[in-house]
Amino acid sequence: MLLTPDDIGAPISNPETGRPRPRQNVVFELGYFIGRLGRHRVCGLVKGDIEILSDYLGVLYLPMDEAGGWRLLLAKEIKGAGLDIDLNRAL
């Protein structure tokens, strides 16, 4: 699941404290996949400095770095989940 800073979230009482966050439909879909597949089989790819909901803190999040190192980390997680993947193609 790709989590990007597409929205701003803030309390109505204090709107100037807004922080970047993923769109609400993406958060909803993340919850769907967690419910369907289980937390151990879901990984969130995080782009930028976004607000992560506390309910999803048990989910693995991988930061998307500019150098692309996240690709190998994600490939290792996929392999660790028991799926067949060529780690050489992740580079």
pLDDT tens, position by position, 35-83: 999 888 888 899 998 887 777 777 888 999 989 889 989 998 888 888 8
Looking at residue 28, its pLDDT comes to 92
Residue 4 has pLDDT above 90, yes or no: yes
**Considering its fold, how many domains does the chain have in total?**
1
48: left (phi over 0), alpha (psi -120 to 50) or beta: left
Instruction: Print the domain residue range for 66.
Output: 2-90
What is the Cα–Cα distance from 43 to 61, expressed in whole angstroms? 6
Looking at residue 12, its pLDDT comes to 93
Question: Which helix (DSSP H) or strand (DSSP E) does residue 67 occupy?
Answer: none
What is the Cα–Cα distance from 4 to 29, expressed in whole angstroms? 14
Residue 5 has pLDDT above 90, yes or no: yes
**pTM, to two decimals:** 0.78
Q: Is-contact 46 27, C-beta < 8 A? A: no
pLDDT single digits (tens) 12-28: 999 999 999 999 999 99
11's tokens: 């309390």
How many CB atoms are located within 10 Å of the residue 59 CB?
19
